[in-house]
Amino acid sequence: MIPSSFAYAAPATLRDALSLLAEHPDDTKVMAGGQSLIPLLKLRLASPAVVVDISRLKALGEIEETPSAFRIGALVTHDRLLGDEAITEQWSLVRDAGEELADPLVRNRGTFGGSLAHADPAGDWPAVALAADAVIHVQSQRGAREIPANDFFTYLFTADIADDELLTHVELAKPLPGTVTAYVKIDHPASGYAVAAAGVSLTIDASGTCRAARVAFTGVATTPLRSAAAEQTLEGSTIDAETIQRAVDHAADGINVIGDGYAPVDYRRHLIGVVTGRAIRRALDRRNCTPDNHERPHT
Ligand SMILES: Cc1cc2nc3c(=O)[nH]c(=O)nc-3n(C[C@H](O)[C@H](O)[C@H](O)COP(=O)(O)OP(=O)(O)OC[C@H]3O[C@@H](n4cnc5c(N)ncnc54)[C@H](O)[C@@H]3O)c2cc1C
């Protein structure tokens, strides 16, 4: 189908972009890589009066590393993030997820920020952001806000970002020593999107006790979300076979699991346990592989 007509603007500065968004907040759509927005326009599921293409805002395409964090610009493409060795060596789940996200064409155009703002309930980066406790930064003419990933995804394709706000960058703190991570996805054979996927981050001390656990899912509910039950099972425990099984058994507790023709609720609930167990084991396999007990690169 052909999109309904719209005005197009490609501002060269963040200031101009924010001013355009402030002018027509209800009737304007930001376009980053266009990999989700353009199909929506073509299907007329979105019919904005104005499309603000932010691809000329080069500063939003940078990754900056500080001693304590990575600052990932909203326009960093999936491929660029996947190619960042400093990030993928410290956060292996970024590599796991990036390698399985869509295809090379989409990875070359689609952006990290666009994926988070789009808030697809089956998107891969949202689960990574949740598992890594990322902080999402947005800006408008009214000022700047930072939102923990855990509060960002509010409903189906809906994030805590107002019509006049632009997602500018995402802050990913460097993992604490002893942290291992992994992402495991069971994808739909036709679309490649997650039927169920888990992102896991475990911080394990020298005695083998798990001090902090994040277990996040995508593809299983109306939003990407964390499993409080699985995290509570893991935290304070030694991660042995029995603990993993308990996390698997309780991973779906409290989650309003969705079903469809391909994966009815009971099957998807089962898959939540499967991806939880696989992700925990994949993360544990990465323990003790580097001198400082951080992760080794994904193999
Ligand atoms: C064939 C195909 C397969 C795919 N498979 C997968 C997959 O397996 N896993 C997966 O996770 N994704 C998949 N995707 C989606 C892809 O990852 C998109 O790139 C991503 O969802 C959106 O990023 P984008 O930069 O293209 O955003 P756009 O399409 O430009 O925008 C998407 C939405 O986010 C808003 N937006 C974008 N950037 C900003 C910003 N900085 N501030 C505020 N709002 C913003 C837009 O207004 C729009 O509503 C697939 C896409 C295609 C076409």
Confidence label for 287 from pLDDT (cuts 50, 70 and 90):
confident
pLDDT on residue 290: 44
| Residue 33 φ/ψ region, left for φ over 0, alpha for ψ in the -120 to 50 degree band, beta for the rest | alpha
Mean pLDDT, residues 230-253 taken together = 97
CATH 3.30.43.10 in the chain is located at 7-53
Q: What torsion, rounded to 10 degrees, do the Cα atoms 254, 260, 266, 271 define?
A: -80
In angstroms, the CA 79 to CA 81 distance is 5
| Residue to mutate (ligand 1; options 30, 116, 193; most atoms within 8 A of CB) | 30
Hey, what CATH topology would domain 7-53 get?
A: 3.30.43
Taking the C-alpha atoms of residue 39 and residue 41, their distance in angstroms, rounded to an integer, is: 5
**CA–centroid distance, residue 282 to ligand 1 (Å):** 27
C-alpha triplet 286, 289, 291: angle, nearest 5°: 140
Ligand 1 centroid to 88 CA: how many Å?
A: 21
Distance CA 100, CA 139 (A): 30
Q: CATH 3.30.390.50 residue ranges in the chain?
A: 180-285
Lookup result for tokens 């992402």: 183
Closest CA to 185 of 173, 172, 198: 198
The CATH 3.30.465.10 portion of the chain extends over 58-173
Compare 287 and 19 and report the one with higher pLDDT.
19
CATH of domain 58-173: 3.30.465.10
Q: Which atom of ligand 1 is nearest to the CA of 77?
A: 25
pLDDT given for residue 294 in this prediction: 44
Q: How far does residue 201's CA lie from ligand 1's centre (Å)?
A: 24
Q: What local confidence, expressed as pLDDT, does residue 299 receive?
A: 35
Instruction: Report which DSSP code applies to 35.
Output: T
Ligand 1 binding pocket, CB closer than 6 Å: 29-37, 54, 74, 101-102, 106, 110-111, 113-115, 117-118, 120, 123-125, 161, 166-167, 192-193
CB 81 within 8 A of CB 106: no
Radius of gyration of the chain (CA): 19
- Contact (Cβ atoms closer than 8 angstroms) between residue 127 and residue 198: yes
Summarised one tens digit per residue, pLDDT across range 131-187 is 999 999 999 999 999 999 999 999 999 999 999 999 999 999 999 999 999 999 999
Best residue for ligand 1 mutational test, from 6, 18, 35 (most atoms within 8 Å of Cβ): 35
d(CA 159, CA 145): 13
More confident residue, 298 or 56: 56
pLDDT of 282 strictly over 80: yes
Which alpha helices (H) appear in 50-173, and where do they start and end? Answer: 78-82, 85-90, 92-100, 104-109, 112-118, 124-131, 149-152
Quickly name the fold that domain 180-285 has: Enolase-like; domain 1 (3.30.390)
Give 76 Cα–ligand 1 centroid separation in angstroms: 12
In the chain, what percentage of residues exceed pLDDT 70?
A: 96
Residue 43 has pLDDT above 60, yes or no: yes
Q: Which ligand 1 atom minimizes the distance to the CA of 29?
A: 47
Residue 292 has pLDDT above 50, yes or no: no
CA pair distance 131, 71, nearest whole angstrom: 16
Mutation to probe ligand 1, out of 50, 80, 118 (largest number of atoms < 8 A from CB): 118
pLDDT for 25 beyond 90: no
Residue 251 dihedral angles phi and psi, to the nearest 5°: -55, -35
Q: How far, in Å, is the centroid of ligand 1 from the Cα of 227?
A: 25
Residue 173: both structure tokens together: 């703190």
Count Cβ neighbours within 10 Å for each residue of 267-280 and write b for 16 or more, e otherwise: ebbebbbebbbbbb
Nearest-CA residue for ligand 1 atom 20 is 115
What residues does 157 pair with on adjacent strands? none
